[in-house]
Amino acid sequence: MRAGLADIAMPGIPVEIAEQMRALWQAAVAVQLDDVVRLKADAQQAIAAADTARTDAELRVELLRQELSELRASVATRDTDLSDLRAQNAMLRDRCGALDAAAEERRAQLDAATAERAAVERTHADALADVQHRYEALSKQLLQETAHQREALKKEHAHSASQLKFAERRVAALDGERARLEGELASERETRQQAVGEALALKAINASQYAQLDELLRIVSAQEARRAPVASSGLATAMRTTGTPKGGTRSARKSHEQNNEPRRLDRWWHDAPTAAAGGNRRGTRLPHRRAWPRCLHTLDTSRDQAPVCVARRREVSTSGGHAAVARSSGRD
């Protein structure tokens, strides 16, 4: 249509006016075309809405048909249930009549049981009165027996109290004996501890004396080692001058040592306290234990040095024992 409008010719009209009229016509045609398009769109929308409404109506009809079929089924079910309930009602009526007859029969039985219960209650009351009488008699007898038992229990309690007092006195005596024995045990323990202390002290004294004798033997061995070359040279000179045989030289050496041994032991016992106390002068040492019997025999058999040596030996033993006791107490 718009293409046809463009080809329309208007003779005798100026070109400008013709152009304006053509533009006006085109505008009017465009407006009409827009109205046609709008109306067409509205018609299409109305058609779509009608189709939707028709579809909804069909769905509703189908739904209503289903509901109607369900309602018909439920009505049929209800009719069946109603017929069943009617049959049950008739049966229950018959049963109710039977129960009424049974109730009448049970009522008659109840009346008979009530009469029997009244008779039993009367019999029970008579028996209860008899039992009450017997109970009173037995209670009196029980009270009497209880009184006798109470007296017996009092006597037994008194006897038990006397036995308890005797047992308490016995326990007190045993406690005293136990205390005495504990005291004796404590004294025995103290005596034992004292004896152990004395034994330890004597052991320490013995150890110190052993140490002193070891020191004396060491001194003896050292002095004999130093004097051995001088004695051997002197003996060789004497043998050359006198022509003494070998056996005589050995006997002379032995007698010389025995004569000089008391003086050496006297010097050893004189230096022993200093060696035991720690002030060892000249590197003195006690003899070895194997030489103790010989040394003691020499000290006891010497007529000149025996009293002095024995006295000094006791002095050394006392001083060494005191030193050992002091050392042991310091260690404790």
Share of the chain above pLDDT 90, in %: 34
What is the enclosing helix (H) or strand (E) of 235?
helix 15-242
Whole-number CA gyration radius for the chain: 76
Biggest alpha carbon–alpha carbon distance for the chain:
206
Burial (CB count within 10 angstroms: exposed 0-12, middle 13-18, buried 19+), residue 296: middle
Tell me what pLDDT residue 292 has.
46
Going by C-beta distance under 8 Å and a sequence separation of 6 or more, which residues neighbour residue 324?
Answer: 201, 204, 205, 207, 208
Residue ranges per domain, the chain? 202-331
Q: Could you report the per-residue pLDDT of 90-119, keeping only the tens digit for each?
A: 999 999 989 999 999 999 999 999 999 999
Tell me what pLDDT residue 71 has.
92
- Mapping DSSP onto H, E and C, the string for 111-157 reads HHHHHHHHHHHHHHHHHHHHHHHHHHHHHHHHHHHHHHHHHHHHHHH
In this structure, which amino acid lies at residue 238?
A
Q: Could you report the per-residue pLDDT of 139-179, keeping only the tens digit for each?
A: 889 999 999 999 999 999 899 989 999 999 899 999 999 99
Q: Rounded CA gap, 296 and 114, in Å? A: 132
pTM over 0.75: no
Q: Could you report the per-residue pLDDT of 245-261, keeping only the tens digit for each?
A: 444 445 445 555 544 54
Q: Helix axis angle, 15-242 relative to 306-331, nearest 10°?
A: 170
Tell me what pLDDT residue 68 has.
92
Tell me what pLDDT residue 34 has.
86
Buried b (16+ CB within 10 A) or exposed e, 52-63: eeeeeeeeeeee
What is the enclosing helix (H) or strand (E) of 258?
helix 246-276
pLDDT grade for 23, boundaries at 50, 70 and 90 = confident
In this structure, which amino acid lies at residue 145?
E
In this structure, which amino acid lies at residue 161?
A
Q: Is the pLDDT of residue 10 over 60?
A: no
Q: Rounded CA gap, 19 and 202, in Å? A: 161
Q: Could you report the per-residue pLDDT of 190-214, keeping only the tens digit for each?
A: 999 999 999 999 999 999 999 999 9
Going by C-beta distance under 8 Å and a sequence separation of 6 or more, which residues neighbour residue 213?
Answer: 286, 287, 288, 289, 292, 295
- DSSP one-letter code for 291: G
Q: Is the pLDDT of residue 44 over 80?
A: yes
Return phi, psi of residue 22, to 5°.
-65, -40
